[in-house]
Amino acid sequence: MLDILKLFQEKMEKVKQVKWKRIHPIIGLDSRTLNVITAKSTLHTRESSTKPDWISAINTEAFVKNKKNSLLIVIGESWSYGENFRGVQSGLGNDSLTYRINNSFAGHCAKALDSDLLLSAVPGNCNQNMVHDLDRLLEEYAILYEEIKVIFQLTSPGRDQSKIEDWYKTLEHYNTLYSETQTLDKKLSDVEWFKMYDEMMLKELNRVITSHTNVEGLVWKNFNPFMVDFATDSCTIVICPWVRLTAQMHGSVFELPVINEAGWWQDHYPKYKNVENDSDYIMKQLDNLESSNTLLRNSSLNGFHPNEEFHMLWATYLLGKTEWTIL
């Protein structure tokens, strides 16, 4: 027992501590049996350590304890946060915490898996911050549960360079991708650049998950396609992004963009000297982005974020890709 406590203390020294605030009494409860937050739950919130100063969202990390032996950790940005829900306006700092979690895909998945839930979702966050968040949370909680499931959202690569953190530079391929001088004998094609980016993020996710023996993962994308076939036993890769499933449900077929920030092509991409930066490729991606935005703008299921009904659908869709539970 003393050895376990010592190991736990050593792990805690590696983790930036942000104290949890208990929410008591829990406001907004209803009698639905699908809810992960009930009158018997313990609910805590805090702000993610990677939340930038300019983000107004509150309760960016929420911990729902139901005295379970397993924990579901869900990592994401505004999509996973529950933007577009009733009473939720993260840009104004407005939250309806209990309602948001109970109606989110994270809450539905935790209920189906009969597990506690830790949701870390910072609106506007980037992939490189989010994988760091997962690393931090697993260091904090892997030792406290018999098993942990991770559902990890990858979003558009265009957010990663809004602020550069030291831990980015330890990622494999980071220096090659973002070098502002040419370091390769032959430049990468534009497709190769995005393939290398995906490989970088999936390798890091795999490293974080396999650092613990009691963790299994699932990774999905909201906007963009996976550019590589990545083989791993640690993580289920959900190939179909949210926008593609939305398009299929509307009977619409088009290519998804590789990135969702139109201005990134002009503001950032030309700085990277190891890639060809082909104008025809960029114009094609901008056309793809317009098709994607038009679909979301006109969809009855969601805007640029899904509504409550689609969150339940997405929970079912994701869990159906795993062997974690029988649906």
Interior CA angle at 290 toward 285 and 294, to 5°? 150
pLDDT value at 137 more than 50? yes
**Phi, psi of 171, deg, nearest 5:** -70, 135
Q: How confident is the model at residue 17 (pLDDT cuts 50, 70, 90)?
A: low
The amino acid at residue 3 is D
Location of structure tokens 């539970």:
325
Strand 61-65 and strand 116-121: pairing?
A: antiparallel
- Planar angle of CA 39, 40, 44, nearest 5 degrees: 90
pLDDT digits (tens, 9 = 90+) for 196-205: 999 999 999 9
Q: Which residue has the tokens 């009977």?
A: 251
Tokens for 162, please give them: 């809004």
Terminal Cα-to-Cα distance of the chain (whole angstroms) = 38
- On whether the CB atoms of residues 230 and 200 are closer than 8 A, the answer is no
In the chain, what are the domain boundaries? Answer: 18-319
For 33, other C-beta atoms within 10 Å of its C-beta total: 6
pLDDT at 53: 87
**Nearest of 71, 68, 59 to residue 22 by alpha carbon:** 59
User: How many other CB atoms are there within 10 angstroms of residue 89's CB atom?
Assistant: 14
Instruction: Give the pLDDT confidence score for residue 170 in this predicted structure.
Output: 86
Cα–Cα distance, 150 to 50 (Å, whole number) = 18
Predicted TM-score (pTM) of this structure: 0.94
pLDDT value, residue 12 = 47
At 162 the pLDDT is 64
- What's the topology of domain 18-319? Rossmann fold (3.40.50)
Q: Which two tokens stand for residue 170?
A: 């330890």
DSSP E strands: which ranges in 27-185? Answer: 42-46, 61-65, 70-76, 116-121, 147-154
Tokens read off for 141: 């909680």
- Taking every pair of Cα atoms in the chain, the longest distance, rounded to a whole number of angstroms, is 64
| Six-digit token string for 21 | 């605030």
Q: Where do the H-state alpha helices sit in 56-143?
A: 78-81, 97-103, 105-113, 127-141
**Cβ atoms of residues 62 and 119 within 8 Å:** yes
pLDDT higher than threshold 90 for residue 122:
yes
